[in-house]
Amino acid sequence: MTPPLSRRALLQATALAAAATGLTAAPAGATGATAEPAWKVRPFGLDEVTLGRGVFAGKRALMLQHARGYDVNRLLQVFRANAGLDTGGAVAPGGWEGLDGEANGNLRGHYTGHFLTMLAQARASTGEEVFAEKLRTMIGALSEVREALRREPAVLATDGRFGSAAEQVRGSCQYVDLPSGVLGAGPAVTLSAWVKPTHDADWARVLDFGDGTTRYLYLAVRNATGVPRFAVTTSGAGGEQGIDGTAPLPIGKWSHLAVTIADGTGTLYVNGTAVARNTAMTLTPAALGTLADHWLGRSHYSADPVFAGALEEFNIWSRALSAVEVAELQDRRAAGTSAGPGDLVSYRFGETVGSRFADSSGRGLDATLRRTWGGPSHPGFLAACPETQFILLESMTSSDYTKVWAPYYTAHKILRGLLDAHLATGDARALDLASGMGDWMYSRLSRLPAATLQRMWGIFSSGEYGGIVEAICDLHEHTGKAEHLALARLFDLDRLIDACAADTDVLAGLHANQHIPIFTGLVRLYDATGEQRCLTAAKNFWRMVVPPRMYGIGGTSTGEFWKARDVIAGTIGATNAETCCAYNMLKLSRSLFFHEQDPAYMDYYERALYNQVLGSKQDRADAEKPLVTYFIGLTPGHVRDYTPKQGTTCCEGTGMESATKYQDSVYFAAADGSALYVNLYSPSTLTWAEKGITVTQTTAYPQEQGSTLTIGGSGSVSFALRLRVPGWATAGFHVTVNGRAVDGVPTPGSYVSIARTWRRGDTVRVRMPFRLRVEKALDDPSLEALFYGPVNLVARDSATEYLKLGLYRNAALSGDLLPSLTPVSGAPLHYTLDGIEFAPFFEGTEDPAHAYFRRAEPRVVFGGLDSRVANPARTDGTTLLDAVWAAAPFRSKGALIAQVRDVVDAWVADGLLGRADGEAVVRTAGTASYAD
């Protein structure tokens, strides 16, 4: 009996059937292949919203300067090297984007994808040709890389000692495969080669002839102490008979190596001079017997590096050359010496094309250039590393990022960058590369059992795939290929999705940034398939993070992982709030808002954008680094690190993207054009071509407590202007249109809608007074963060213990705590309290900072008057002053005094406060003066 189709198989079959009839899967109610009909609102393009002067434009200018000046050939180096192409002497950026970084650079290529996206966004935002030109350069190079990977490796010719030589680019994983019989089986041998190493890796082989790791003969450029080594064995490493050199070979220079074995003596020559001798060598080629592999540049030990450098004049003789004969090899090719070319094999390596090397010995034993990993499984493969990263993941059962480090995460960054480049420039090559990547991934993943996929995606780090589902859905919109939509479903991590769809919180212990993008992908899958489970899971997930696992600045995670929900104070440390997490939570919030216009999504967006994301970019330019944080440590006195892990981390990649798309969510339009949402207050100009108008927002927000919007264009147009009322705007939200007040009292955490026919010159003024307030940690009310309107204020102090601050001393009748602080002249949003300076979190400085502090109100103080009465507290930590000010705002001083009386009477009745002390509190409250 045929088993029923699984949900995944059914969806794949449905998508493929749609393709067969020329259709593509679309959201319920949609009329075409695109996702937009499912959206209730739609965003504007980056080219439709222009940033005005302000904090966002200032931060962006720094990143644009970096983007203009950075040599993209450095990014392309790892791709070209992987394909065996000339890298032009470019030096990879380093850190995670190179071969020498963490985990041997197994994540290389990811940063290039980020850079493509940054350039595309910069091009869209500014229109500058320099960004388009860089994109075309990169797309052209990546096209050449893919073409090179599709074919057999080809020789890369370079200047040699006597003519042309063959270069092995580091990272190419290329080696020379010699036929059997090149070693011979006699009692004596001479091996000779000119080498120019370009890297100082230990154990890279000039040659390695053997059967695995038991019987072999090798010549290494460097042993563990950095000097050349020759060894032969028939019993593995423990039985090696070896000869070690006395000095390292120079990097980037030609050196001649030769080894002779005869009559029990082995001699190692360097540049014609015998440098070491072993007189107890009993093993000869004859003792090895017939060997399976004869390699130049590759080791039989898989952990050893492939030789990086150039080879010329490799010869093997069936006798031991004399010292005079070896010396002759220094000045001319072997064919021109008294020894003549090797009688067993002789390669000049003078070829300039193809993958074959001719044997000049007369025996016809031509050699072949090969890759250690063979070649791509599909012609669409494009990466900066061998496909083995993807292959090994399929058999992994546990985490080991040193062996396999998130290959599909890297694929996502590249795919996303290609799609963005195509949108920004119209370059068809970029879409072709992206489509090929989709085809290749489908060819790999569609053949795997569902259980294998579930295991893969559940492995920490190795199985991380970033926002690949979202990117694949976008790819499907371009190509219409059913395989691409089917591919998106192959990344489902069912146990997490099902739990979130059921509103079951299973996030504790999960790697945060590995899983946040899963849900952005699910929203796009809902767009493409109409499957409600996807959207429900994403909505529920968002609420499991905001606010249960959210720090005041909008960030989440500690040490990259989530802890139990509602634990904030208990997780604060030096590795909080990975910057990538904020980037992805913003994307998710934005995506959810397209479907459900819950103001909470945009309240969160403002919080994270105006605090963590802005504050993650240092306020200075740098030619080499984007200067973006990895973690935002929230521990007391933490100093932000803007060049983490040597640069080129995931967070620096997303940081480059964030800094070139600050305007992406300032405005949204209703899908039917009936309304314009103003989500963020930011100096900007919207060009709403559909309506034939512009909307210019003039403000210094958040230094200014409001904004002015002016309608431009010709004619008149009707729509509802919807202005976000921030959840923190408890001091009022006042709107005028052409000087006339808009009726009503807006509710914080909502939108004010003004429907009318708008004309050129219409002016809308918004005023939203800020108040200084605190936000308490969910698990410890005494640990608090300080906010002024949307801005988190941090104390700049080098102390490494939590600062203890009292804020009620001069609180206003409105409940505003600002009167307790002193403004710093000439420095907007800077204040002092008890000699400590407070400044906006978004300022990208390296000052030690305190984002949280301990609330300390030891005595009851009103309007600066000290009652001399200790401030009592209940068992939950709530103090008498907390209870009083919880009722703010007060319409008058009398209302405040009445509240004080009520609280005092209650606390006296509960035995928490003496009657005499209570009366002293009431008298002090009545005597004090208060700001409004």
Give the residues across from 103 on adjacent strands: none
What is the pLDDT confidence band of residue 778, given thresholds at 50, 70 and 90?
A: very high
Q: Rounded to whole angstroms, how far apart are CA atoms 13 and 223?
A: 55
Block residue for tokens 């190419």: 172
What is the pLDDT confidence band of residue 20, given thresholds at 50, 70 and 90?
A: very low
pLDDT number for residue 645: 86
pLDDT number for residue 714: 85
pLDDT number for residue 899: 98
Q: Rounded to whole angstroms, how far apart are CA atoms 167 and 159?
A: 9
For the segment 256-263, the average pLDDT, to the nearest whole number, is 98
pLDDT at 426 over 60: yes
Q: Which domains does the chain have, with CATH numbers?
A: 174-371 (2.60.120.200), 858-932 (no CATH)
For the segment 29-40, the average pLDDT, to the nearest whole number, is 51
Query: Across the chain, what does the average pLDDT equal?
Result: 94
pLDDT at 350 over 70: yes
Lowest mean per-residue pLDDT among 14-23, 141-150, 266-275, 705-714: 14-23
pLDDT number for residue 33: 39
pLDDT at 707 over 60: yes
pLDDT at 470 over 80: yes
pLDDT at 644 over 70: yes
pLDDT number for residue 4: 34
Q: How are beta strands 41-43 and 667-670 bridged, if at all?
A: antiparallel
Question: Taking a C-beta distance cutoff of 8 angstroms, is the pair 426, 369 a contact?
Answer: no
Q: Rounded to whole angstroms, how far apart are CA atoms 682 and 702?
A: 8
Question: Is 536 exposed, middle or buried (CB count within 10 Å of its CB: 0-12, 13-18, 19+)?
Answer: middle
Q: Rounded to whole angstroms, how far apart are CA atoms 483 and 466?
A: 20
**Alpha carbons within 13 A on the beta-carbon side of 640:** 29
| Residue among 545, 563, 624, 641 at smallest CA distance from 845 | 641
What is the pLDDT confidence band of residue 31, given thresholds at 50, 70 and 90?
A: very low
Question: Taking a C-beta distance cutoff of 8 angstroms, is the pair 769, 731 a contact?
Answer: yes
Backbone angles phi, psi at 558, to 5 degrees: -135, 125
What is the pLDDT confidence band of residue 29, given thresholds at 50, 70 and 90?
A: very low
**Span 822-865, pLDDT tens digits:** 999 999 999 999 999 999 999 999 999 999 999 999 999 999 99
pLDDT number for residue 38: 80
pLDDT number for residue 412: 98
DSSP 647-705: S--HHHHHHHHHTT-TTTTSEEEETTSSEEEE-S--SEEEEETTTTEEEEEE--TTSSS
What is the pLDDT confidence band of residue 79, given thresholds at 50, 70 and 90?
A: very high
Q: Rounded to whole angstroms, how far apart are CA atoms 473 and 485?
A: 6
pLDDT at 696 over 90: yes
pLDDT number for residue 876: 87
pLDDT at 12 over 80: no
Q: Say which residues have a Cβ less than 8 Å from residue 533's Cβ, sequence separation at least 6.
A: 497, 501
pLDDT at 539 over 70: yes
Which uninterrupted H or E stretch holds 882? helix 880-885
pLDDT exceeding 70 applies to what percent of the chain?
96
pLDDT at 642 over 80: yes
pTM beyond 0.85: yes
From residue 152, alpha-carbon distances to 146, 189, 297, 683 in Å are 12, 32, 17, 54
pLDDT number for residue 605: 98
pLDDT number for residue 582: 98
What is the maximum span of the chain, computed from C-alpha positions, in angstroms? 115
Which of helix, strand or coil describes residue 347?
strand
For the segment 255-272, the average pLDDT, to the nearest whole number, is 98
Q: How are beta strands 804-805 and 853-855 bridged, if at all?
A: parallel
pLDDT exceeding 90 applies to what percent of the chain?
94
pLDDT at 526 over 60: yes
